[in-house]
A and B are shown apart, each in its own frame.
Chain A
Amino acid sequence: MTTVKDLPQEDYFLSGHTACPGCGGAMVVRETMKVLGANTVVYMPASCLLIFSDMYPYNAFKVPSLQVLFETSAICASGIKRALKRQGKDDVTVVAFAGDGGTADIGMQALSGAAERNEDILYVCYDNEAYMNTGIQRSGTTPFGAWTTTTPLGGTSEGRGKNEFKKDVPRILMAHDVPYVATASLGFPADFLRKLEKAKAKKGFRYLHVLAPCPVGWRAESDTTVDLAKLAVETGIFTLMECEDGVLTLNREPRFTPVREYLKLQGRFKHLKDDQIAAIETWVKEKWERDRALAKALGPKPKVPVAMTK
């Protein structure tokens, strides 16, 4: 297994892109491309990534890339792969990088379809927990209580940040019984690297959900990206897991650092009242109970009877 130290010097996502300082999304893409290498085709939707990497006449990718629409990441990556297969280039890795909005919300239909058909693609969602490109609007993965420009603060119950909890996209993908679903965090690069290598080596539909802090949208210092990604895991807010051929493993037992340690570093949570923080603490507790139960239940899949495999 490669360690972070052995990662190739060579980059396929180059410096010179125009992401903000400390952009977690750019770090996710860079590390992923180091592992995937030259024999790769990239798809990206409308998102911060498109704007900071492929604004004509500039381009940050050293491999071919396609952009079609916001909600078409999974289907376009599938279309590329099918065409490559017809051309005898089945060895090429096709990766779609998409934001949380393009994944959890508007892109969910195409994502679910591609997963159900077990298209041979790698889908990487860099989750910065809002629509950053359009100016920090809430998405399905924005956490409870977070301020965004569409969940602004005000004197009413509508003015306390987002009123709903984060959508569990990996769990939705697990329900599709695809070969590989995993989460990763920039705060745990070795774990991320291991999962990338595993995902690269597998055939069929592979989904990686990577927490990618956005200093601008999270109202945090640009040098806290990795710390935040680490704390999200250690507080139990973001779970490191992988589901390989139906077997679910929780990869790290967190220290359960108080959630306040994580929240206080981010301006988007500055307004939270004690009852909201208590709600987050309860949510974390219940999530871990549920995920543990799930991991226990999801052992190896029952073997398909011989007659049905014919």
Chain B
Amino acid sequence: MIEARTATAGERHMVTGDYAAAWGAMVSRPQVIAAYPITPQTMIIEHLAEFLAAGKLDAEMMRVESEHSAMSAVVAAEATGVRTYTATSSQGLALMHEPLFISPPMHLPIVMSVVNRTVASPLGIWVEHNDTMPQRDTGWMQVYVEDAQEALDMVLQAYRVAENPSVELPMMIGMDAFLVSHTIESVDLISQEAADKFLPPFKPVHAYLDPERPLVVGAAAPPEYIQEVRWETDLRMRRAAEFLEETDREFGRTFGRTYGGAFETYRLEDADAALMTLGTVTSTAREVVDRLRGQGERVGLIKLRSFRPFPADRLQDATAHLKAFGVYDRAVSYGVGGPSYIEARNALYDTTTMPILGFLAGLGGRDVTPQDVELMFKKTLGAVGRGRRASGVHWIGTRGVSP
């Protein structure tokens, strides 16, 4: 860590996911950063403060008094025409809920890393996606990453997608508490020069505050006007899917790494049954796929990265040949099931009658073991040929509850 702090950029170093995210933010050259500490996001802003103190980062850093203010500060700064960055977790994101709604209709492409953590109650600091998932309808794009490298790379990609004039929507990047944020991995710390080639300086297109060209940003509006704003924001979210794919390909051409855009597939082509995961469980699931394949089971995997925009069309194509589909979630919409399970069923309703099963596991940060994932695959395989009636939500690894 100490070594990496002073290391020259563009080399491989052993760093945490938080360090990687902070590095990604630094080489994206944000002009204003505002943040408030919360475990396990704290190291992101500590590292940014270190970069600033060391003269490696040149930005206005606002050490604000709450997350509500952190988000409001970057909204105001972005509305003044500069690139901004913030990071949070859990309760912090919940406190940001109100200002989250502001930037999408205002065309403000803010980027934020969110270390996914349990939202109380009960209070817990370990991974769960019940902080980001409920922000689904705020108009923010949401991408989930699997490891430290992706946490870094996605910051650069996020600005490219968010600032695209056809999109101009903010993006949050979800990274699992501790499993990504605090796990030390070998990471390619992209150099400033390379980052600059991939990510040009931010040029605000229209909505920015400047006494030279007076403009109202964020007025009140009567019903005669608001519905069109909603429609237009919805349109940009739909458009974003395409730019997400394009940006990932472009990133691959520059850095030699791609992530599959909205989702990545693994041994899916000839699979009968597949599981969709998001976050770090994906790494475990890949191993399980290999093991089951070794036993002759035709199983595959989809690593969902983008939850908003939700890649419904691509998912329809990718799953057309499947006979059963399982969807894993690390958050629950009480009384219904996992949020991405709900999305997947909605997306696939028109194109398939195969059973779609929902799996809930690892809530509150509980480990999701290879056995847990294997059970998900087995249940999905067991539903083959049984039609939609075999669908349903299963709690895996819950004390006193048979899955």
Contact = CB atoms under 8 A, between A and B. Distances in A.
Contact of B211 (A54, A64, A68, A83): A64
Contacts of A76: 72-73, 75-76
Contacts, number: 144
Given A68-B99, A79-B34, A110 B69 contact: yes
Interface string A34-68: 00001111010000001100111101011111111
Interface stretch (B138-146, B216-224, B332-340): B216-224
Interface stretch (A85-93, A264-272, A285-293): A85-93
A86 B82 contact: yes
Contact of B220 (A64, A67, A82): A67
Contacts of A116: 65
Contacts of B99: 68-69, 72
B32 interface: yes
Q: Which of B34, B77, B211, B215 has the most CB of A within 10 A?
A: B211
A113 interface: yes
A92 B82 contact: no
B77 A83 contact: yes
Contacts of B80: 41, 79-80, 83-84, 87
Contacts of A112: 65
B107 interface: no
Interface of A is mostly: mixed
A38 B221 CA distance: 25
A75 B219 contact: no
A68 B102 contact: yes
A71 interface: yes
B79 interface: yes
Contacts of A247: none
B98 A69 contact: yes
Contacts of A89: 210-211
Contacts of A117: 62-64
Contacts of B113: none
B81 interface: yes
Contacts of A64: 209-211, 213-217
A109 interface: yes
B214 A43 contact: no
Contacts of B77: 79-80, 82-83
Given A86-B32, A87-B81, A66 B60 contact: no
A83 B216 contact: no
Interface in A258-279: none
Contacts of A38: 211
B69 A113 contact: yes
A67 B215 contact: no
Interface in A285-304: none
A56 B79 contact: no
A32 interface: no
Nearest to B75: A68
Interface in A109-123: 109-110, 112-113, 116-117
Nearest to B217: A66
Contacts of A86: 31-32, 59-60, 82
A67 B221 CA distance: 12
A75 B98 CA distance: 14
A211 interface: no
Given A75-B72, A83-B81, A67 B32 contact: no
B76 A62 contact: no
A141 interface: no
A80 B32 CA distance: 10
A110 B214 contact: no
Contacts of B59: 86
Nearest to B80: A83
A226 interface: no
A79 B73 contact: yes
A78 interface: yes
B69 A92 contact: no
B221 A72 contact: no
Interface in B77-97: 77-82
A83 B82 contact: yes
B107 to A, nearest CB: 13
Nearest to A82: B60
A67 B73 contact: no
A110 B82 contact: no
B66 interface: yes
A104 interface: no
B379 interface: no
A83 B83 CA distance: 9
Contacts of A169: none
Interface in B102-136: 102
Nearest to A110: B69
Contacts of A50: 219-220
Contact of A61 (B32, B213, B214, B218): B214
A68 B79 CA distance: 10
Nearest to B215: A64
A75 B69 contact: yes
A77 interface: yes
Contacts of B76: 43, 66, 68, 72, 75-80, 83
B305 interface: no
A40 B218 CA distance: 17
Nearest to A66: B217
Given A56-B220, A57-B225, A64-B215, A79 B72 contact: yes
A68 B218 contact: yes
A65 B74 CA distance: 16
Contact of B82 (A66, A67, A87): A87
B308 interface: no
Contacts of B213: 64
17 contacts: A40-B211, A43-B76, A56-B220, A63-B214, A64-B211, A64-B215, A64-B217, A65-B209, A66-B79, A68-B72, A68-B218, A78-B76, A79-B73, A83-B81, A85-B60, A112-B65, A113-B65
Q: Which 9 A-B pairs have the closest CB atoms?
A: A79-B76, A113-B65, A83-B80, A76-B76, A79-B73, A83-B77, A72-B72, A56-B221, A82-B60
